[in-house]
Structure formats: structure tokens, C-alpha cells
Structure 1
Amino acid sequence: MSKEPISIGRREKELSVYLERQPYFVEQDGIRLKIAKNVFPSDFGITSSFVGDFMLRQQPVGVALDMACGSGYFAFLLKKIGCSTVYGVDFNRDAVACAKENLGLNPALAPIEFIHSDLFADVPPVKLDAIMFNFNYYPSDGTYGLNADGGREILERFFRQVPAYINDGARIYIPYSQFVGEEHDPKRIGAAFGFACSVAASVANEAGEHYIYEITKT
């Protein structure tokens, strides 16, 4: 019997398996992570490994932010490549607590400041050189904070707010998967707010193309 075609429904079924396992531990790129209850699993699907490999090839910057940090995996990678100051932000209190616990499991990567915030609402007035934003980019039923609009409302608010927090030349990286559909594509949404978008990396599998966009303010 052939495997069920890639779809949002199938992805939700696969995600539910991780929900049932939580809490559990995993190691990624030499980083020990606890994936707590109600925290999006950083070892799920192709996106995390694809983005992780990409991030490990980037040059360090002064001040970096992992927006929607979840377990803290990308924040730890930002520190691992040598970024001087790293923040992790999530609106999910369980995720922030999980990331702080994971910092204790990886003391060599301290300090990192993990902040509970709805986007930039409670972020200190810093100027950022780089942002990784693995946003919730497909419609869902509310599990892990995924929402029915495929992240469009979140992205629109992000692009409105972010100019006040970035230095000239700051790089914003946002992953995206083709199968989700053009209506949720950060490239289209960002353009409406004056942002330029290019494909920094891509990979393909049975679900189609997966991208990491590099986004800058025009």
C-alpha cells in the first residue's frame, strides 16, 4: 500500500505521535534537549535538521534572536556558532520554561535570555543583527500553538513590528515548505511590508521544496 500523500492532515497525524511521547529527551548537533509537554518538537520533520545544518554554516553576529524558540534549539545553535548575545522568545509559557531547563543541560552555551512574549511585546529595546523565525506556517487545530490561519496574522504582525528591532543590514531567516500553499508564503506577506526576500537554501523531498528565506528591509 502506498504511503498517504503529503498533506496538512497527514502532518498533523505525524505530529500527534510526538505529543503522545512528551516529555522526552533528544540530542541534536551535540545539544541535549528535553522536549516538554506542549512544546513543539525540534526533532520533528525535515525543517529543524535542514535549518540546523544551515545555521551551523553561518557567520556569527553580535546580537541574535530565536523568535518562536520552542525548546531553544535554534537559540543554542546561534550561541554555538559564536553569536555574542542571544535571545529566545516564545508566546508559549511551557516552551520558555522548557528552553530555560535546556539551558541548564547545556551550560557551555550560557548565557541565553529566554523571554515569554507575544512577538516583540516584552522584548527589551535591543537592535538585532540576525533573527531566526521558525513560525507556525500551516493551518492547525491549536496544538502547540499552531493556528487556523497558517501563521498569516503572526507574520503580518512580525513584519510590522520588526523594523524597530533590527540594525541596518540585519538578516532575518524564515523557513517555509512548498506544500503548505502560496497564501501562507512569507515571501508574499513580507513584500507587502517593504521586505525583500531571497532563497538562501533549499532542499526537496516527497513533500516538495523546502526553503530558508533570507529577508531584509528594503
Structure 2
Amino acid sequence: MSLPTQREAEAFLTPLRAKSTVFLLDNRTTDLLFSRFLLSCLVRTRNEALVADINAFYSSNAQRIAPESDALQNISLSLPPPGFAVEPWLIDFLIGAADAAVVVLDDLNTLYHLLSFDGSKRTGNRISFLMALTSFLARTRLQTIISKVYARNRPIQNSRRGARSLDRLGDLGVAVEYEASELTFACKNGSGWRGNGTFSVRVNP
């Protein structure tokens, strides 16, 4: 795994501190590159991180996003057990992550659909509560809480007129694009990086 420089890693992570940030991804390739870059930043800065691997993305793609697994001693994956109760498990995970500098929820699309399996019409309210909890914990614990959602499959959080989509439920919403060996992060809501609110870094596909 080619690590970013200390300066690059800190420049990316520092504006996310004490916030719940949702990254909006356009496709799987961007997701893989983003996840590899994020893990690389955590390794470089030695931040203790805890990942709620709800859809087993990190564990099933470990060799692609973190080929040097021995460098990931500061990053722990938490996979839900079979048949788990979604809300209690996630709330316990968040409350129990008090010592982690960075918390990752992967991903909001999966979480939304799991919450909707029981046929409840309150799925939007339930995920809004969970995201409000991440915002509160990030602010009061000075944590960095990161979630992601796919642009082509982002359900509206409820059916009310004017309701926000999943990528707008965090303190900060960031669109991620990959083009010409460069990842570009652009703030869509909230304030993040200085200047025009964007951050770019060259990555190897």
C-alpha cells in the first residue's frame, strides 16, 4: 500500500474532526480507491480507527484496499453477527467506540435497506436518528465519523416533500470523483477544506 505523505493525510483528515461526514461515491471503482486512500491516511497518522463493516466491504476487499495488512494494527473491523438487530447493534457499536479517533460506517445504502426490511414506514426517521447520533458523538467526543453512500442508489430518507437524501444527513456532505489518476473531494453541504472546499490527491488505480 503506497501511503500518502504525513502532510497529505493530515490535510485530508483534520477538517473532518468533530464532524459526521457522508461521502457520496459515483461507482465501485471510486469506492475502492477512496477506501484505500482513507485506510492509508489512518495508517500514516496512526489514528485508532474502528470500522462498522455492515456489508463486509472492507473484509471482502482487504487485499485490494489494504494489501499490507500488517500495517493496519491501529484499524479494527467490526462485523455484525448473522440475524442481528440493526439499530441496537449499531447504537452499541457507536457507544462502544468512545476510544477511537476515527469511526467508519460502511455503508448507508445497506443500512437503509436493512432498516426497511420490516416494512416500517419510519425508515427515514430511524436512519435520521442514527445519523443525528453520529453527529452528536462526533461533536462531543471530538471524533471523526465517516459514512459513505452510492450516488446511483441513494434512497430518500423519507417521503416528505423536501426531505433530504442520505448524503445530506451528515454535518458535512462530500462528493468523491475519480478521473485521470486523481481523487477529488468536493463539499456539497457544510464546510470542510479551506479555499473552494475541495481536496485532490493523486492515487494509483
User: Which structure would you say has the larger RCO, counting Cα contacts within 8 Å and 6 or more residues apart?
Assistant: 2
Normalised to the residue count of structure 2, the TM-score between the two structures is 0.45
Greater share of helix: 2
Q: Which has a greater percent of strand?
A: 1
